[in-house]
Amino acid sequence: MKLYEFAPAPNPRRVRQFLAEKGVEVERIAVDMLGGAHKTPAFRAKSPLAQLPVLELDDGTYLTESIAICRYFEGLHPTPPLFGADLQAQAVIEMWNRRVEFGITAPAIYLLRHTSEILAHLQEQDEGEAARHRQRLLDGLSFLDGELAGREFVSPTGFSVADITAFVGLDFTLHGTFEIPADMTNVKRWYDMMKARPSSSA
Amino acid sequence: MKLYEFAPAPNPRRVRQFLAEKGVEVERIAVDMLGGAHKTPAFRAKSPLAQLPVLELDDGTYLTESIAICRYFEGLHPTPPLFGADLQAQAVIEMWNRRVEFGITAPAIYLLRHTSEILAHLQEQDEGEAARHRQRLLDGLSFLDGELAGREFVSPTGFSVADITAFVGLDFTLHGTFEIPADMTNVKRWYDMMKARPSSSA
């Protein structure tokens, strides 16, 4: 297997952090996303939507979508379970993974894309859209802050892929002008705990 | 178990069509989404983000997110497998489910929300945003049309939850001003085939 990635981008980082939590090593191939290497015809043959990361399986199948790649590794290396140890935990974790993906990760990534000078050449940046993503992110974090008042991790079942999803998105947008609001003390505690895990710097 | 739903909305329909393909019956409780019944404190105790559908488990756990609910039923009723019969098929189907969800289902739903008179009281409608969703949807359908030139279903592994995800979103927006472009003959063939399945009118 080979994992095509671009280290600074949030979706490759999700997979990298997931593998670090699993203690799994895989051959990695760097693709220069800022230089546009993911948009060449040769790379689109692997990833038709020009997405990273891509996992190349030994039979020549290419997998894209971070969460599909993570779930594939969960099947190969079930311990520790990060998608849930039983059917009900799996459903609860998937629910939380999606809640934080839509409420935090996606708006966080779009917010930085619409506001970062470094990313300005990649797409048209729109102030109104940036403001909507900022508000969605604040709403998502506010909801999570309330939930984290009563527990340590995103899913009530314990540490899971949902924590990685939320952390990587939030951490990405903190490279721009966004800061965790000071009154969101539960999110701040959770963020600091996630940042302290060795996997966060994998 | 009880399934809270609002029949005309696309996410409840995803679960309904999934259950029909499985041949599974479950107690259903109608929630009047157009009347705002999903936003009451009593309902938010079940679904904090006011989402439908909601599956209430016998131990009092509430599951939201259509795909988490569908995957839970897949675990209870594995046949026919709609999330994949083995690990690699599961990963490929999850990849395709996400590709059509982001490329077709989500923009299709947002497009109708931003353009339908019936839905005008639910949120602010924005022409610019509608245009962006329309373009995203056209791009997603164009990509799918190319893929379907060589196969029958969204995932190369055969009929799956990814077909349901794409079909329900596309069918929803066809209630408005959007039509499948005439030159997308592969998408049209796939859409007609999906529409003809008994589960599409479940």
Q: Do A143 and B72 touch (CB under 8 A)?
A: no
Q: Is pLDDT of A118 > 90? A: no
Burial status of residue B56 (CB atoms within 10 A of its CB: 0-12, 13-18, 19 or more): middle
Closest residue to B68, CB basis, from A48, A75, A94? A94
How would residue A176 be classed by pLDDT, with cut points 50, 70 and 90?
confident
Q: Work out the average pLDDT over B126-133.
A: 87
- Interchain contact B149–A (C-beta under 8 A): no
Among A56, A77, A95, A97, most B C-beta atoms within 10 A, so best to mutate, is A95
Q: Is pLDDT of A181 > 80? A: yes
The confidence score (pLDDT) of residue B117 equals: 86
How would residue B176 be classed by pLDDT, with cut points 50, 70 and 90?
confident
Among B14, B18, B49, B65, most A C-beta atoms within 10 A, so best to mutate, is B65
Quote the minimal CA–CA distance from A119 to chain B in Å.
Answer: 20
How would residue B121 be classed by pLDDT, with cut points 50, 70 and 90?
confident
Each domain of chain A, given as residue ranges in start order, spans 2-76, 87-201
The confidence score (pLDDT) of residue A4 equals: 97
How would residue B126 be classed by pLDDT, with cut points 50, 70 and 90?
confident
Q: Do B75 and A68 touch (CB under 8 A)?
A: no
Q: Residues 158-197, chain A: which have Cβ within 8 Å of B?
A: none
Domain A2-76 has CATH 1.10.10.10: no
- ipTM of the complex as predicted: 0.94
CATH of domain A87-201: 1.20.1050.10
Q: Work out the average pLDDT over A153-166.
A: 98
For chain A, percent of residues with pLDDT exceeding 70:
100
Rounded Cα gap, residues A50 and B89, in angstroms? 22
Q: Is pLDDT of B123 > 80? A: no
Quote the minimal CA–CA distance from A159 to chain B in Å.
Answer: 18
- Interchain contact A89–B (C-beta under 8 A): no
- Interchain contact A74–B (C-beta under 8 A): no
- Interchain contact B53–A (C-beta under 8 A): no
Q: Work out the average pLDDT over B24-48.
A: 94
- Interchain contact A49–B (C-beta under 8 A): yes
Q: Is pLDDT of A18 > 90? A: yes
Handedness of CA A153, A154, A158, A159 (dihedral sign): negative
Among B14, B46, B54, B94, most A C-beta atoms within 10 A, so best to mutate, is B94
- Interchain contact B91–A (C-beta under 8 A): yes
